[in-house]
Structure 1
């Protein structure tokens, strides 16, 4: 069985599910899952988990994301990006100064709340928001808290009334919504002109592969060589190497006690043997002196 993580560079014009479907054909398995939706018009890092790696999808999805985006001042759209219909306009008579933009960006660092865009896959009452939007139905959207770890201004284009931002954020952050909110704080309707995700967890743009590279490898039956090990998708978690005796118990999914691991914490722990990922364990909800298996490989 094929197991590993494909560090895909998702092209524009494809949904994340399109990418999953294509990878199922290339790797001839149904056990394929992506780790954080990217809108069709957005390109960027989209790690695809294959085989046993699908067990870590929630853990890899939960990692920080890094984006390069462009904020366009003067118009707000119903989709909050350049693909939507203009809902509000205001002429930009004076492009905000660098210091003004940076002051607003500084205010948006840390924990912030967002209202997800109507054209998004967030579910309300079992139905996706974009389904309500397409049916012209109003629905109350949930307010969510996300975390902006870093937010920097990288360039300003006064002729086009745009500026570029670099964002490091938690999962679930809508950069489209962030762009709209930044524009409002600068006194203008705004939207996201373009976006690129350049990193997910430990997977950066320079490590990615394209569909063209996968197709070429597939002609030689070498597509498995493009996969990264499961451990790379768990690099943000604590790892502990164990001996052969403990390996057997872990592979059988047995519970462990505090005397068997020095890392008895509330955070998940990855147990390895000779760098092979054996399992992910977490604190037992009812027995604080024990750890229980969350995923066994």
Structure 2
């Protein structure tokens, strides 16, 4: 099986727990997730199965969206409600001040990640270093991220519910911490639901219980996605059947062996098909005036 399934992760499970559960339900060893969700968070977690694990990085690089609750007045060491409380503040802010604080988080910003994160220092996760008493080895560095959409949904006393669409590498916990800092009253993330990851969203997701049910009822196929579903942003090329064997064995073919050129001259990576079968991604290059194609990733069995 070389497919992708969109699992709606429940709270209380790590992303690795979800991978282990999918592996057990489907009785398949090669399974991987496409971007960690914290145990306290829930929502969209696409899972790649078999050769589909080769595109996990492509899904990981896509924008993601969340609904989040920010609780003002309390700072924690993890920037979320699972952490140890460090400080408490009185909360006395206006909605206008809240909107201005959110304004400063929109667009391309430099964001400092939480020290309790899976980012690595010399091969070790920062959170593991801190928990083992080696926090002095961690040097936090800000990273550029893009907050493409940030909208306050509701304000209820010290609770702010908001919606965010952001680039890879964004920590929503850091958004909460930074807004609390900007308002001068502290804040932490008290709820997080991932609503989309690339082309996957809550509507096309299933729970682990449903995965097990669909597997037992032989109705799972309609809930699985082909590998090229997540590659639709790439243009395509169809190669001649007489070039198939040479191409899949690593040979470079030129445009004389293309049946269909569904790409632009400036494209570097394309989806490659032959007789209706998706072969994988190919890399285009140009020699003199001839366009050449070499395999980038193969997904055929």
TM-score (normalised: structure 1): 0.89
Which deviates more from structure 2 when the two are superposed, residues 215-224 or residues 165-174? 215-224
Q: Is the 8 A contact 1:251 1:279 kept in 2?
A: no
Is 1:295 aligned with 2:294?
Answer: no
Residues 166-202 of structure 1: CA distance to partner in whole angstroms, max 9, x if unpaired?
1111111110011101111222211111100000111
CA distance 1:142–1:274, change in 2 (3 Å): farther
Q: Corresponding residue for 1:187?
A: 184
Partner Cα distance (1:33, 1:4) in 2: 11
Q: Corresponding residue for 1:239?
A: 235
CA distance 1:276–1:142, change in 2 (3 Å): farther
Q: Secondary structure at the match of 1:82?
A: coil
Partner Cα distance (1:257, 1:144) in 2: 41
Q: Is the 8 A contact 1:263 1:269 kept in 2?
A: no
Q: Secondary structure at the match of 2:203?
A: helix
Partner Cα distance (1:241, 1:153) in 2: 44
CA distance 1:126–1:221, change in 2 (3 Å): same
Is 1:268 aligned with 2:266?
Answer: no
Q: How does 1:1-297 map to 2 (within 5 A)?
A: 2-92=1-91, 94-97=92-95, 99-138=96-135, 139-158=138-157, 161-235=158-232, 237-245=233-241, 248=244, 250-257=247-254, 261=261, 262-265=263-266, 267-273=268-274, 276-282=277-283, 290-297=292-299
Q: Secondary structure at the match of 1:231?
A: helix
Q: Is the 8 A contact 2:93 2:183 kept in 1?
A: no
Give the CA RMSD over aligned residues. Answer: 2.5
Q: Secondary structure at the match of 2:81?
A: coil
Segments of 5+ residues of structure 2 without an aligned counterpart are none
How many pairs were matched up?
291
Partner Cα distance (1:267, 1:148) in 2: 27
Q: CA deviation at 1:257?
A: 5.0
CA distance 1:42–1:275, change in 2 (3 Å): farther
Partner Cα distance (1:278, 1:29) in 2: 22
Q: Is the 8 A contact 1:238 1:268 kept in 2?
A: yes
Q: CA deviation at 1:100?
A: 2.7
Q: Secondary structure at the match of 1:36?
A: coil
CA distance 1:291–1:187, change in 2 (3 Å): farther
Q: Secondary structure at the match of 2:180?
A: helix
CA distance 1:254–1:224, change in 2 (3 Å): same
Partner Cα distance (1:38, 1:152) in 2: 21
CA distance 1:127–1:109, change in 2 (3 Å): same
Q: Secondary structure at the match of 1:188?
A: coil
TM-score (normalised: structure 2): 0.88
CA distance 1:213–1:90, change in 2 (3 Å): same
Q: Secondary structure at the match of 2:87?
A: strand
